[in-house]
A = this chain, B = another copy of it.
Amino acid sequence: MSHPHPELGAPPPLPKNGVRVVALGGLGEVGRNMTVLEFDGRLLVVDCGVLFPDDHPGVDLILPDFDYLRDRLDDIEAIVLTHGHEDHIGAVPYLLRLKPDIPLIGSTLTLALIEAKLKEHRITPYTMGVKEGGREKLGPFDCEFVAVNHSIPDALAVFVRTPGGTLLITGDFKMDQLPLDGRITDLRAFARLGEEGVDLFLTDSTNAEVPGFTTPEKDITPAIERVFAKAERRIIVACFASHVHRVQQILNAAEAHGRKVAMVGRSMVRNMGIAADLGYLKIPDGILVDAKKLGDLRDDQVVLICTGSQGEPMAALSRMANRDHQIDVGHGDTVLMASSLIPGNENAIYRVINGLMRLGANVVHKGNALVHVSGHASAGELLYCYNIVKPRNVMPIHGEWRHLVANRDLAVATGVPERNVLLAEDGVVVDLVDGQASITGVVPCGYVYVDGSLVGATDETMLKDRRILRDEGFVTIIVVRDSSTGKIVAGPDIRTRGFAEDTDVFDKVVPKIEDALEEARRKGVNDSHQLQQVIRRAVGGFVGGKLRRRPMIIPIVIDA
């Protein structure tokens, strides 16, 4: 991964009145958002999320790199969580494992979601609930919280006042002016803070490339209504397990059409339960039924809300498409995939759509109906923000490089001087001193892989090995030597998996190995490592030449 600032080295010491900002995730990728502020030796962490792998074989999650904090854990005042999405809270358990008493600051729903996640990790955190309009002093960081509208309720932006300067961090946001829950992004607060003076504005870059304005959530309602009006039999809705407002729209439609609703999928049931308990989701009385009891109802009285909108193989919807679920999807059923299509998931999603259609279902998705809108501000909304806030400096966050660049262009277009818009990436150090922000250095910041229960044990070498195994399989060649005489007493014994071979190819290579070993013996080569190399060359030359393949070759010489 080429570094954008190869000329940078370690940053100089932070001046006493300077504010340092380092992203440990979220810049250069969409995921694992984590920003660390520093003032006067104290640290404030904003968000701590995970990234889901796309080409990392066998990896479950990718975390931000906590190395930067490892010797400074006691300097951390708190972790501020802007909202409850996985790419903002998913890595909190791994950070708290290092120091469990770091307080978590967030809104009611956000804290409820992270507490549920931490319970699974057997961690009980210190928390402080905050609301929009609230203000908390966390060491030298005087934090004021502002409501923002997003695709999960109770999301916050945070304005941080320090003696060295002020920062406004949007978190993830959009600006639906008639949102379903009435909770708009508080632009008047942005205006007020802009009047006071925002030295550094950190803004969500996800949709900066998209011209215009993000479609309002309520524009989806007619499409949902049409689905419910036309559906002959069951309605199965797949959406994100955190999308409370989408589920609300489904519940409302179900009630209007006299249908009962069952939720399927552990995370869906859990998150919607939390949202309902806290009042963010209004469930009409008696509308929910147990998924197991659906058989008692007529098909046209049934709605299922389930996971699997991204074609995840183990989730409910995929299993329905593969006829591997108690719900037997068939002709006349309608499947509504009310979610986005995250880049990278296209093939998995289309596999599910094709599978459901083959079973006879009518599938409605964002490719053929307006059934999902983004949770992020487009270029139009971002321009409003830059013009209202009129920040001194801007640091685009939350996006791949192309998104950060597009966001930078918007800021510059509204009049922010180009040198005041910092294009940083993970690990790049931005210092705000006397009202001027600039890039002053870079700290090491890599990918940390979670694999099963192991954190950090998988590295690039391991992934490289796995890619070879995936593409080519392996061949092991075992030779047993008599430890006293050095003579070969068993083998070459050849085992292979994942390696396509003619049945007789190994008959052909055995004599080559024997010849090579005999020649080595004559030359007096005795060291087992060198003999392993002899075997490797004999086999590699053979499979590479004859079969044009490059399996992993593992020669093993055992002394018995």
**A contacts, CB < 8 Å to B:** 2, 4, 28, 54-55, 57-58, 209, 322-323, 343-344, 346-347, 350, 353-355, 357-359, 363, 367-368, 400-402, 405, 449, 451-454, 457-458, 462, 465-467, 469-474, 476, 478, 480, 482, 489-491, 493, 495, 497-498, 500-502, 547-549, 552, 554, 556, 558-560
Contacts and interface: CB of A to CB of B under 8 A. Distances in A.
B473 A470 contact: no
Given A346-B343, A346-B346, A358-B401, A465 B457 contact: no
A490 B560 contact: yes
Given A478-B556, A478-B558, A57 B354 contact: no
B480 A402 contact: no
B451 A500 contact: yes
Contact of A495 (B368, B470, B556): B556
Given A347-B344, A357-B402, A451 B497 contact: no
A499 to B, nearest CB: 8
B358 A4 contact: yes
A552 B552 CA distance: 15
A482 B58 CA distance: 38
Given A350-B343, A354-B400, A502 B556 contact: no
Contact of A497 (B346, B469, B489): B469
A560 B453 contact: no
Nearest to A349: B343
Contacts of A368: 209
B474 A402 contact: no
Contact of A402 (B350, B401, B559, B560): B350
B490 A559 contact: yes
A217 to B, nearest CB: 24
Contacts of A473: 58, 462, 465-466, 469
B344 A500 contact: no
Contact of A57 (B471, B497, B556): B471
Contacts of A497: 465, 469, 474, 552, 554
